[in-house]
Amino acid sequence: MAGGSAKICLPRRSIRSYWGVLFNLCERLSLLDKNHRVINYLRLSVTDRCNLRCIYCMPEQGVQFISHREILSYEEMLRIVRLCVHKGIRKVRVTGGEPLVRKDVTHFLEMLCNIEGLEEISLTTNGVLLKRFAADIKNSGIRRINVSLDSLKPERFFRITGKDYFERVWEGLEAAEHVGFHPIKINVVAIKGINDDEILDFAELAVRKPYHIRFIELMPVGNQSTWNAERFVSTDEIYQLIQSHADLSPVKSNPYDGPAQRFKIKGGQGEIGLISALSHHFCDQCNRLRLTPEGHLRGCLFSDQEIDLKTPLRQKKEDDDLLQLIELAIKNKPKEHGLLKCFPRKCVPQMNRIGG
């Protein structure tokens, strides 16, 4: 092509699709934090209150709860979520504390599910009130549900949670299955000397039920007295144990799976998931922000950096002002939790407040 510039001829359709690619790229760029991670997932803690006292999360006595007037109203939460969607959030998980103890939560879920631009909305619950609310949750539009259950033995459930509610949770799971939640994910925090002898029982549950059992490493958050290195069970140990009794094959994860490594058990209906929050920390892929019940946006579970959205919200600031703060929280998301470098680090208190 000597002399003159080359003339690029593209068919009309191609030009449009080039614009599409460019648009997607710009959209993606606006969601990158300064470590080039796409931030598209918000964990929304709707309350710090709970009807259980799991040993690793909340002390039995003396918990300081946030006063009602300091907790965001549902309208305030919805406004923040809408603005977050504007900044690229596509997935929201409603958590707590125990989300189902907050009044009218299913009405809130319905409004949340109507927010345009959200592609996935899920709920994490301890299951105690699930039997009562399963149908309403399904009708609200929620399609994915995680139920936390650390033991299949009622007396041990009592020891871990401080309440004799195993049957209620089990009935909650059955109700969730009955109204058509699929898959139902069960979160199990493995703790040495407390429930690690049940790992194979949970694996067996994933064989006979269509449940996705997700083993979570015990983290130094919440109730500080529970955490110590002797209590820790790594997901590598869990994998080895299950693999020595069953045939595990990896399952390709989808973009919204988060950090779980997934496995099918040969001949089983469900799946096993391993969440290695400490042993193979996944900070370089972390796509999360957290909104606390009192309206603080937090980039990392283990960092004290928070951006207060409630004050400007209640001062009736414009959307643009709030959008700038959300962008700041995204851009300044900590690079990593650093727990492995400076361990043992002080525990992060109040997992129920931040939202697990």
Q: Which spans of this chain sit near ligand SF4 (rule: CB under 6 A)?
A: 50, 52-54, 57-58, 96-98, 126, 148, 351-352
Residue entry with tokens 């109203």: 73
Q: Considering beta carbons, is residue 46 or 89 the nearer one to ligand SF4?
A: 46
Contact 32, 38 (CB under 8 A): yes
- Does the footprint of ligand SAM cover residue 350 (CB under 6 A)? no
Smallest distance from ligand SF4 to CB 171, Å: 16
Choose from ligand SAM, ligand SF4, none: what does 187 bind? Cβ within 5-8 Å by kind.
ligand SAM
Closest distance to ligand SF4 from the beta carbon of 165 (Å): 10
Residue 147 tokens read as 């139920």
Q: Beta-carbon neighbour count of residue 83 at 10 Å?
A: 19
Q: What are phi and psi of 276, to 5 degrees?
A: -100, 65
When CB distances are held under 5 to 8 angstroms depending on the partner's kind, the choice from ligand SAM, ligand SF4, none that residue 218 binds is ligand SAM
Instruction: Give me 219's structure tokens.
Output: 């983290």
216 is in the binding site of which of ligand SF4, ligand SAM, none (Cβ under 5 to 8 A by kind)? ligand SAM
- Partner in contact with 221, chosen from ligand SF4, ligand SAM, none, beta carbon below 5 to 8 Å by kind: ligand SAM
CB of 278 to ligand SAM, least distance (A): 9
Binding site for ligand SAM (CB under 6 A): 50, 56-57, 95-96, 98, 124-126, 148, 187, 189, 216, 218-219, 221-222, 351-352, 356
